[in-house]
A and B are shown apart, each in its own frame.
Chain A
Amino acid sequence: MNHDAVRTLLTLSAAGLLDPEAERQVREHARTCADCTAELACLGQLAVGLSTLPAPPPPLNLVARTQARIAADGDRREAWRLSIAASICAATLAVAACLQLQPYLGSLIWIAFAVIPSLLGAGAALTLASRRHLERSLL
Protein backbone atom coordinates (compact mmCIF):
# COMPACT_ATOMS: atom_id res chain seq x y z
CA MET A 1 0.00 0.00 0.00
CA ASN A 2 1.47 3.36 -0.97
CA HIS A 3 1.78 6.45 1.22
CA ASP A 4 -1.31 8.25 -0.12
CA ALA A 5 -3.51 5.19 0.30
CA VAL A 6 -2.30 4.69 3.86
CA ARG A 7 -2.83 8.36 4.64
CA THR A 8 -6.57 8.01 4.00
CA LEU A 9 -6.78 5.10 6.41
CA LEU A 10 -5.04 6.69 9.39
CA THR A 11 -8.21 8.10 10.98
CA LEU A 12 -9.98 4.75 10.67
CA SER A 13 -6.95 3.04 12.18
CA ALA A 14 -6.98 5.44 15.13
CA ALA A 15 -10.69 4.77 15.56
CA GLY A 16 -10.09 1.01 15.55
CA LEU A 17 -12.32 0.56 12.52
CA LEU A 18 -9.95 -1.11 10.06
CA ASP A 19 -10.07 -4.79 9.30
CA PRO A 20 -6.99 -6.73 10.47
CA GLU A 21 -5.35 -6.87 7.04
CA ALA A 22 -5.69 -3.13 6.37
CA GLU A 23 -4.53 -2.42 9.92
CA ARG A 24 -1.44 -4.58 9.37
CA GLN A 25 -0.61 -2.73 6.17
CA VAL A 26 -0.99 0.64 7.86
CA ARG A 27 1.31 -0.43 10.70
CA GLU A 28 3.83 -1.85 8.27
CA HIS A 29 3.94 1.40 6.31
CA ALA A 30 4.07 3.53 9.45
CA ARG A 31 7.23 1.72 10.58
CA THR A 32 9.11 3.22 7.65
CA CYS A 33 7.27 6.55 7.32
CA ALA A 34 7.93 9.22 9.93
CA ASP A 35 5.05 11.42 8.72
CA CYS A 36 2.46 8.66 9.04
CA THR A 37 3.89 7.57 12.39
CA ALA A 38 3.56 11.11 13.73
CA GLU A 39 0.06 11.52 12.30
CA LEU A 40 -1.02 8.17 13.69
CA ALA A 41 0.31 9.09 17.12
CA CYS A 42 -1.54 12.40 16.99
CA LEU A 43 -4.80 10.77 15.92
CA GLY A 44 -4.30 8.13 18.58
CA GLN A 45 -4.04 10.82 21.24
CA LEU A 46 -7.17 12.39 19.83
CA ALA A 47 -9.01 9.08 20.08
CA VAL A 48 -7.87 8.57 23.65
CA GLY A 49 -8.86 12.15 24.45
CA LEU A 50 -12.34 11.58 23.04
CA SER A 51 -12.84 8.42 25.06
CA THR A 52 -11.89 10.23 28.25
CA LEU A 53 -13.74 13.50 27.73
CA PRO A 54 -15.34 14.72 30.95
CA ALA A 55 -18.99 13.68 30.92
CA PRO A 56 -21.69 16.23 31.77
CA PRO A 57 -23.14 15.12 35.11
CA PRO A 58 -26.85 14.30 35.00
CA PRO A 59 -29.11 16.43 37.21
CA LEU A 60 -29.35 15.00 40.73
CA ASN A 61 -33.02 14.04 40.65
CA LEU A 62 -33.18 12.95 37.03
CA VAL A 63 -33.91 9.31 37.83
CA ALA A 64 -36.65 10.20 40.33
CA ARG A 65 -38.29 12.64 37.91
CA THR A 66 -38.13 10.06 35.14
CA GLN A 67 -39.79 7.46 37.35
CA ALA A 68 -42.49 9.93 38.36
CA ARG A 69 -43.19 10.80 34.72
CA ILE A 70 -43.41 7.14 33.75
CA ALA A 71 -45.73 6.46 36.70
CA ALA A 72 -47.94 9.41 35.77
CA ASP A 73 -48.06 8.21 32.18
CA GLY A 74 -48.97 4.72 33.40
CA ASP A 75 -51.76 6.17 35.55
CA ARG A 76 -53.18 8.13 32.65
CA ARG A 77 -53.18 5.06 30.44
CA GLU A 78 -54.69 2.90 33.14
CA ALA A 79 -57.42 5.43 33.85
CA TRP A 80 -58.18 5.56 30.15
CA ARG A 81 -58.39 1.77 29.92
CA LEU A 82 -60.56 1.59 33.02
CA SER A 83 -62.90 4.23 31.69
CA ILE A 84 -63.34 2.39 28.43
CA ALA A 85 -63.86 -0.95 30.17
CA ALA A 86 -66.34 0.54 32.62
CA SER A 87 -68.26 2.24 29.85
CA ILE A 88 -68.49 -0.96 27.81
CA CYS A 89 -69.64 -2.96 30.85
CA ALA A 90 -72.20 -0.33 31.80
CA ALA A 91 -73.56 -0.08 28.28
CA THR A 92 -73.85 -3.85 27.95
CA LEU A 93 -75.58 -4.09 31.31
CA ALA A 94 -77.98 -1.29 30.45
CA VAL A 95 -78.95 -2.82 27.11
CA ALA A 96 -79.54 -6.23 28.68
CA ALA A 97 -81.63 -4.81 31.50
CA CYS A 98 -83.65 -2.65 29.16
CA LEU A 99 -84.46 -5.58 26.93
CA GLN A 100 -85.72 -7.50 29.96
CA LEU A 101 -87.77 -4.66 31.45
CA GLN A 102 -89.12 -2.98 28.33
CA PRO A 103 -92.40 -4.96 28.26
CA TYR A 104 -93.21 -3.67 31.77
CA LEU A 105 -91.91 -0.07 31.81
CA GLY A 106 -91.99 1.08 28.22
CA SER A 107 -89.38 3.33 26.58
CA LEU A 108 -88.59 5.21 29.81
CA ILE A 109 -86.46 2.31 30.97
CA TRP A 110 -84.13 2.74 28.02
CA ILE A 111 -83.26 6.26 29.08
CA ALA A 112 -82.80 5.46 32.76
CA PHE A 113 -80.70 2.36 32.31
CA ALA A 114 -78.51 3.84 29.61
CA VAL A 115 -77.58 6.90 31.63
CA ILE A 116 -77.25 5.65 35.21
CA PRO A 117 -74.71 2.79 34.75
CA SER A 118 -72.60 4.89 32.40
CA LEU A 119 -72.38 7.69 34.94
CA LEU A 120 -71.57 5.25 37.73
CA GLY A 121 -68.87 3.54 35.67
CA ALA A 122 -67.22 6.77 34.60
CA GLY A 123 -67.36 8.13 38.15
CA ALA A 124 -65.76 5.00 39.56
CA ALA A 125 -62.94 5.12 37.01
CA LEU A 126 -62.27 8.79 37.70
CA THR A 127 -62.26 8.20 41.46
CA LEU A 128 -59.81 5.36 41.10
CA ALA A 129 -57.53 7.37 38.84
CA SER A 130 -57.53 10.41 41.14
CA ARG A 131 -56.84 8.21 44.16
CA ARG A 132 -53.84 6.65 42.42
CA HIS A 133 -52.63 10.09 41.39
CA LEU A 134 -52.88 11.26 45.00
CA GLU A 135 -50.98 8.19 46.19
CA ARG A 136 -48.19 8.85 43.72
CA SER A 137 -47.91 12.48 44.78
CA LEU A 138 -47.57 11.45 48.41
CA LEU A 139 -44.62 9.13 47.67
Chain B
Amino acid sequence: MIYEATLGQDFPLAEPTDAARLRAGDPAALAAVVGRYQHRLYRYLVRLVHDPATADDLFQQTWLQVVRQIHRYDPARSFDTWLFAIAHNTAIDLLRRRTGECLEDYPASAPDALDTLLAGERAEHLAAAMDALPALYREVLTLRFEEGMKLEEIAAVTHAPLSTVKSRVQRGLEALRRSLP
Protein backbone atom coordinates (compact mmCIF):
# COMPACT_ATOMS: atom_id res chain seq x y z
CA MET B 1 0.00 0.00 0.00
CA ILE B 2 1.47 3.25 -1.18
CA TYR B 3 0.15 5.38 1.62
CA GLU B 4 1.38 3.19 4.44
CA ALA B 5 4.89 3.40 3.07
CA THR B 6 4.83 7.13 3.70
CA LEU B 7 3.96 6.71 7.36
CA GLY B 8 7.54 6.19 8.34
CA GLN B 9 7.68 9.40 10.32
CA ASP B 10 7.43 9.05 14.06
CA PHE B 11 4.51 10.82 15.64
CA PRO B 12 5.29 12.28 19.06
CA LEU B 13 3.14 10.34 21.48
CA ALA B 14 2.34 10.92 25.12
CA GLU B 15 4.59 8.89 27.35
CA PRO B 16 2.80 6.46 29.67
CA THR B 17 3.75 8.50 32.72
CA ASP B 18 2.41 11.75 31.24
CA ALA B 19 -1.20 10.92 32.07
CA ALA B 20 -0.26 10.07 35.64
CA ARG B 21 1.69 13.31 35.99
CA LEU B 22 -1.15 15.30 34.44
CA ARG B 23 -3.53 13.65 36.87
CA ALA B 24 -1.26 14.74 39.72
CA GLY B 25 -1.45 18.32 38.44
CA ASP B 26 2.24 18.55 37.52
CA PRO B 27 2.66 21.85 35.58
CA ALA B 28 5.91 20.65 33.98
CA ALA B 29 4.14 17.59 32.58
CA LEU B 30 1.36 19.79 31.26
CA ALA B 31 3.83 22.08 29.49
CA ALA B 32 5.65 19.10 28.02
CA VAL B 33 2.52 17.38 26.72
CA VAL B 34 0.94 20.57 25.34
CA GLY B 35 4.23 21.39 23.60
CA ARG B 36 4.54 17.89 22.20
CA TYR B 37 1.04 17.90 20.72
CA GLN B 38 0.79 21.54 19.68
CA HIS B 39 1.62 21.04 16.00
CA ARG B 40 -0.66 18.05 15.49
CA LEU B 41 -3.60 19.33 17.46
CA TYR B 42 -3.44 22.84 16.03
CA ARG B 43 -3.19 21.42 12.48
CA TYR B 44 -6.24 19.22 13.08
CA LEU B 45 -8.25 22.15 14.42
CA VAL B 46 -7.24 24.50 11.61
CA ARG B 47 -8.22 21.86 9.04
CA LEU B 48 -11.53 21.42 10.82
CA VAL B 49 -12.60 25.03 11.31
CA HIS B 50 -10.40 26.84 8.75
CA ASP B 51 -9.97 29.89 10.94
CA PRO B 52 -6.62 30.19 12.81
CA ALA B 53 -8.09 32.39 15.58
CA THR B 54 -10.89 29.89 16.22
CA ALA B 55 -8.41 27.02 16.12
CA ASP B 56 -6.25 28.88 18.65
CA ASP B 57 -9.20 29.24 21.02
CA LEU B 58 -10.29 25.64 20.50
CA PHE B 59 -6.75 24.46 21.19
CA GLN B 60 -6.80 26.16 24.59
CA GLN B 61 -10.32 24.95 25.37
CA THR B 62 -9.31 21.40 24.46
CA TRP B 63 -6.46 21.43 26.98
CA LEU B 64 -8.71 22.96 29.61
CA GLN B 65 -11.04 20.00 29.12
CA VAL B 66 -8.09 17.59 29.20
CA VAL B 67 -7.02 18.94 32.59
CA ARG B 68 -10.59 18.84 33.92
CA GLN B 69 -11.30 15.34 32.63
CA ILE B 70 -7.92 13.67 33.08
CA HIS B 71 -9.30 11.56 35.94
CA ARG B 72 -11.63 9.94 33.40
CA TYR B 73 -8.81 8.94 31.05
CA ASP B 74 -8.22 5.22 30.87
CA PRO B 75 -4.46 4.59 30.45
CA ALA B 76 -5.28 1.37 28.58
CA ARG B 77 -6.63 3.52 25.75
CA SER B 78 -4.66 5.63 23.31
CA PHE B 79 -4.02 9.12 24.65
CA ASP B 80 -4.05 10.43 21.06
CA THR B 81 -7.55 9.13 20.44
CA TRP B 82 -8.80 10.50 23.74
CA LEU B 83 -7.22 13.91 23.11
CA PHE B 84 -8.53 14.24 19.56
CA ALA B 85 -11.99 13.11 20.66
CA ILE B 86 -12.02 15.96 23.19
CA ALA B 87 -10.86 18.38 20.49
CA HIS B 88 -13.60 17.09 18.17
CA ASN B 89 -16.28 17.55 20.86
CA THR B 90 -15.00 21.01 21.74
CA ALA B 91 -15.09 22.05 18.09
CA ILE B 92 -18.61 20.66 17.65
CA ASP B 93 -19.82 22.49 20.76
CA LEU B 94 -18.31 25.76 19.55
CA LEU B 95 -19.82 25.42 16.09
CA ARG B 96 -23.23 24.67 17.55
CA ARG B 97 -23.05 27.62 19.94
CA ARG B 98 -21.75 29.98 17.32
CA THR B 99 -23.89 29.12 14.35
CA GLY B 100 -26.55 26.74 15.54
CA GLU B 101 -25.11 24.29 13.04
CA CYS B 102 -23.36 20.99 13.44
CA LEU B 103 -20.29 19.71 11.66
CA GLU B 104 -22.44 18.06 9.03
CA ASP B 105 -23.77 21.47 8.01
CA TYR B 106 -20.55 23.42 8.42
CA PRO B 107 -19.94 24.93 5.03
CA ALA B 108 -16.76 24.44 3.10
CA SER B 109 -15.06 27.67 2.18
CA ALA B 110 -14.48 28.13 -1.49
CA PRO B 111 -10.79 28.26 -2.36
CA ASP B 112 -9.65 31.79 -2.84
CA ALA B 113 -9.45 32.47 -6.58
CA LEU B 114 -6.20 34.39 -6.36
CA ASP B 115 -4.62 31.71 -4.18
CA THR B 116 -5.63 29.06 -6.66
CA LEU B 117 -4.26 31.11 -9.52
CA LEU B 118 -0.94 31.63 -7.79
CA ALA B 119 -0.64 28.06 -6.59
CA GLY B 120 1.94 26.60 -8.90
CA GLU B 121 2.79 23.57 -6.87
CA ARG B 122 0.74 20.42 -6.62
CA ALA B 123 0.76 20.64 -2.83
CA GLU B 124 -0.85 24.04 -3.00
CA HIS B 125 -3.50 22.75 -5.41
CA LEU B 126 -4.08 19.86 -3.07
CA ALA B 127 -4.32 22.15 -0.03
CA ALA B 128 -6.81 24.37 -1.87
CA ALA B 129 -8.85 21.34 -2.92
CA MET B 130 -8.78 20.03 0.64
CA ASP B 131 -10.01 23.39 1.95
CA ALA B 132 -12.94 23.24 -0.42
CA LEU B 133 -14.13 19.89 0.95
CA PRO B 134 -16.93 19.74 3.53
CA ALA B 135 -15.65 19.67 7.13
CA LEU B 136 -16.69 16.05 7.64
CA TYR B 137 -14.42 14.89 4.83
CA ARG B 138 -11.57 17.21 5.81
CA GLU B 139 -11.67 15.82 9.31
CA VAL B 140 -11.43 12.15 8.40
CA LEU B 141 -8.81 12.77 5.72
CA THR B 142 -6.69 14.74 8.20
CA LEU B 143 -7.03 12.06 10.85
CA ARG B 144 -6.24 9.29 8.37
CA PHE B 145 -3.45 10.81 6.33
CA GLU B 146 -1.88 13.45 8.55
CA GLU B 147 -2.41 11.74 11.90
CA GLY B 148 -2.06 8.22 10.53
CA MET B 149 -5.00 6.98 12.59
CA LYS B 150 -6.66 3.64 11.97
CA LEU B 151 -10.35 3.38 11.11
CA GLU B 152 -11.23 2.36 14.66
CA GLU B 153 -9.37 5.36 16.10
CA ILE B 154 -11.06 7.79 13.70
CA ALA B 155 -14.41 6.27 14.63
CA ALA B 156 -13.62 6.79 18.32
CA VAL B 157 -12.61 10.41 17.73
CA THR B 158 -15.60 11.31 15.59
CA HIS B 159 -18.15 9.09 17.38
CA ALA B 160 -19.19 7.64 14.01
CA PRO B 161 -19.64 3.99 12.97
CA LEU B 162 -16.74 2.32 11.13
CA SER B 163 -18.75 2.06 7.93
CA THR B 164 -19.49 5.79 8.04
CA VAL B 165 -15.84 6.66 8.55
CA LYS B 166 -14.84 4.40 5.68
CA SER B 167 -17.44 5.98 3.45
CA ARG B 168 -16.30 9.49 4.37
CA VAL B 169 -12.67 8.68 3.59
CA GLN B 170 -13.73 7.17 0.29
CA ARG B 171 -15.96 10.07 -0.72
CA GLY B 172 -13.44 12.64 0.43
CA LEU B 173 -10.68 11.06 -1.63
CA GLU B 174 -12.97 10.77 -4.64
CA ALA B 175 -13.94 14.42 -4.34
CA LEU B 176 -10.29 15.40 -4.16
CA ARG B 177 -9.47 13.19 -7.14
CA ARG B 178 -12.20 14.89 -9.18
CA SER B 179 -11.13 18.38 -8.22
CA LEU B 180 -7.49 17.94 -9.14
CA PRO B 181 -6.24 18.12 -12.72
Residues of A within 8 A of B (CB): 11-17, 23, 40, 42-59, 62-63, 65-67, 69-71, 73-74
Contact of A14 with B173 in the complex, beta carbons under 8 Å:
yes
Q: Is B59 an interface residue (CB 8 A)?
A: yes
For residue A37, give the distance in angstroms from its CB to the closest CB of chain B.
12
Flag if B123 contacts A49 (CB, 8 Å).
yes
| Cβ distance A69 to chain B, nearest Cβ, rounded Å | 5
Residue of B56, B64, B67, B174 near A59 (CB, 8 A) is B56
- B31 to A56, Cβ gap below 8 A? no
The answer for the CA separation of A48 and B35 in the assembled complex, in Å, is 26
A-B contacts, 5 listed (Cβ < 8 Å):
A15-B144, A50-B130, A52-B6, A58-B38, A67-B34
Stretch of B39-47, B74-82, B102-110 that contacts chain A:
B39-47
B118 at the interface (CB under 8 A from A): no
Most chain B beta-carbon contacts within 10 A, residue among A17, A45, A55, A71 = A17
> Is B34 touching A12 in the complex (CB atoms < 8 A)?
no
Q: With the chains together, A48 CA to B7 CA distance in Å?
A: 9
- A58 close to B6 (CB less than 8 A): no
User: SS class of chain A's interface: helix, strand, loop or mixed?
Assistant: helix
With contact pairs A56-B43, A63-B35, A73-B64 given, residues A46 and B123 touching in the complex (Cβ less than 8 Å): no
Residues of B near A63 (CB, < 8 A) are 31, 34-35, 38
A103 to B37, CA, bound (A): 65
> Could you say which residues of chain A place their CB within 8 Å of the CB of B56?
59, 62
B87 smallest CB distance to A (angstroms): 13
**Among A46, A56, A71, contact of B46 (Cβ-Cβ < 8 Å):** A56
CB <8 Å contact, A56 and B52: yes
- Interchain CB contact under 8 A, B177 and A70: no
**Distance of A44 Cα from B145 Cα, bound (Å):** 12
Establish whether residues B67 and A70, one from each chain, have CB atoms under 8 Å apart when the complex forms: yes
- From known contacts A47-B6, A58-B39, infer whether A67 and B31 are also in contact, taking CB-CB under 8 Å: yes
CB distance from A7 to the nearest CB of B (A): 11
* B180 at the binding interface (Cβ < 8 Å): yes
Interface pair B3/A14, CB less than 8 Å apart: yes
B31–A62 touching, CB < 8 Å: no
User: Among residues 158 to 177 in chain B, which have CB atoms less than 8 Å away from a CB atom of chain A?
Assistant: 166, 169-170, 173-174, 176-177
Q: CB of B98 within 8 A of chain A?
A: no
Contact with A along B1-17 (1 / 0, CB 8 A): 11110110000000000
